[in-house]
Structure 1
């Protein structure tokens, strides 16, 4: 995580860009709103305001009044198209993002900063609501951006952006009927590859642990496993509720079947870690009694024994593709070229062997 001093310096830089771009022509928003926009605490906002005041960017605080912009700070380059001001809408605040996504966000921010742009992650409370249209419209009208990244976005959110033709990139797989540009792991191909590994080792009954999220990638992974139609290969889906107790519950259900799975495939790294613990708790050995594969990966899996077999993507490489696509979208290309599917690298690990 960034040190406090560097975090304040980054907040100062971002706010200077927004002032130069004329986003706040006369007054800054209140401290609470700035904390939401910058995804930092109120203390960091106050230190940022002190730095801006010392540099003459804003005027000293007056009792009961919002901070006033200090003089004409608009840059000659403020309207240039190459200055990318990108916002990422996500249901998660920064501290709840996965480690690979945090690294990806950091690489995107650095790449845009080198181009004179800015990048912010925003987690509005309405992002997962069933009817967000009115609140999206008000939000987009007040938050001027060159383009948006939609992370783990719902069908209503994607539909609104598509209908309003707001420049955006879905960081994931668009919902059915949505034609927005996107970038995502090819979960179907990844799961199909995992199925092939398990089949060749002799596994014939495989369980897949799905999260409660209604995302296209989860459905694609299930389809990928089931595409292996060789005689005798069976896939059973178990849906957990997003909690550790929920994973343990479906694990017991899977192991309680008359013919239990000899391998489990997970959509989320956290599920793999919980399954490993659950197996140890009931005396099952991984991989001798139960093989385990994770379709997604986080660095903490490297510290588990045995190391979990699975798939990983390079956040730096993904970030480059994200920025490249955003530049095309901002330039007016609603269908940026290149393959939108990412193929992750296989991590062999030590959690997969032939079934007992």
Structure 2
């Protein structure tokens, strides 16, 4: 699933974001006050669709073929009837060729083919923009604004196949479909990072690079964050600490585990035990893992939980089991999302600055696309600790 392309809608109102029309991801930016618009007629929607498709064909967003009709309908949020009317017009004008069950071939030579560099930066993701957390949408929107100010457009491209154990064919399909000046990799796996690094493509990882991967990256310093969290819980008198983590191979999670266990080695002398408790990412699986931890001998009395959605499950399940927080179990969230502000008891968590995160990614992208540099640095940012009732007071107070 891709984005709604700005720039070709009526002048009075322009979409200022990439992604489907969704209240969390988009906002309307009027260029100037306008009277109440009339309801659009289908022929005007067809004209707008034709203009948007022409603009993207000129920019070389696709190389040889248009995406399928379903994908285009999702991107533009229009019906198939409207889309086919627009495609028929483009076919009459000799922009495209084909149809009747076949992908439509692009006939025009784009600006990019004629020598002008692409102005599209693609954010590659395994999941739809509709499923992103609010905190992720904040930095994506900030990145889009930075790129737009520099003359680039951010396109959100969903490709689960690129995140498979063997992503080569899916990567090739994405490269054929999207002509990008640079790629931003979100939730990227080791096989994806390695495959793109071997192709020497201009990429920035929004996250941590795996060992041996020399692509530039920006992420939270998860190792330092989890070391700090372990010490924080130990200072509250907690003696059996668990990092509750979904299974998976993301580099940031691996760094989290490393930092947490490193802290545990130093805390052994104080009688503190640390362990990493993996779960399958489902509510049922997480609850079963929690039951094992609180029924242990001795039971876990300090939890560091990765991912805000899992914090909600963990907190509500503990309360359902009659566990008193923080008297029996202290809990800290490794990550932040605005919805955590509405939980009671209030949740202690680590909060990153999405504007700073986006700005760091933007600068690396700009080095790639404007200066031709291949930066190799891995930028790590420290989040801010937000205190909450689930942490409790220091021991002895």
Give the TM-score range, shorter chain.
0.7 to 0.9
Equivalent residue, structure 1, for 2:345: 306
> Structure 1, residues 152-195: CA drift from partner, whole Å, max 9, x if none?
12222111111110110111111222111111110001111112
Equivalent residue, structure 2, for 1:161: 196
- What SS does the corresponding residue of 1:112 show, helix, strand or coil? helix
Distance 2:51 2:281 in 1: 37
> Contact 2:62–2:178 (CA<8 Å) still a contact in 1?
no
Q: Is 2:135 the partner of 1:100?
A: yes
Unaligned runs of 5+ residues in structure 1 are none
Cα 1:46–1:290 change in 2 (3 A) is farther
- What SS does the corresponding residue of 2:121 show, helix, strand or coil? strand
Distance 1:308 1:323 in 2: 31
> Contact 2:98–2:105 (CA<8 Å) still a contact in 1?
no
> Contact 1:12–1:48 (CA<8 Å) still a contact in 2?
no
Equivalent residue, structure 1, for 2:56: 18
- What SS does the corresponding residue of 1:272 show, helix, strand or coil? helix
Distance 1:332 1:242 in 2: 40
Please state how far the C-alpha of 1:62 moved relative to its aligned partner. Answer: 10
TM-score by length of 2: 0.76
Aligned-residue CA RMSD (Å): 3.7
Distance 1:89 1:292 in 2: 33
Distance 1:5 1:208 in 2: 37
- What SS does the corresponding residue of 1:138 show, helix, strand or coil? helix
TM-score by length of 1: 0.84
Distance 1:181 1:13 in 2: 36
Q: Is 2:215 the partner of 1:176?
A: no
* Number of residue equivalences: 350
Equivalent residue, structure 2, for 1:344: 383
Distance 1:318 1:350 in 2: 27
Please state how far the C-alpha of 1:128 moved relative to its aligned partner. Answer: 2.4
Distance 1:149 1:45 in 2: 34
2:156 maps to which of 118, 121, 138: 121
- What SS does the corresponding residue of 1:127 show, helix, strand or coil? helix
Cα 1:308–1:146 change in 2 (3 A) is same
> Contact 1:84–1:118 (CA<8 Å) still a contact in 2?
yes
1:259 maps to which of 287, 298, 304: 298
Distance 2:338 2:215 in 1: 31
Q: Is 2:368 the partner of 1:333?
A: no
Distance 1:73 1:145 in 2: 13
Equivalent residue, structure 1, for 2:254: 219
Q: Is 2:63 the partner of 1:32?
A: no
Distance 1:187 1:244 in 2: 24
Please state how far the C-alpha of 1:196 moved relative to its aligned partner. Answer: 1.9
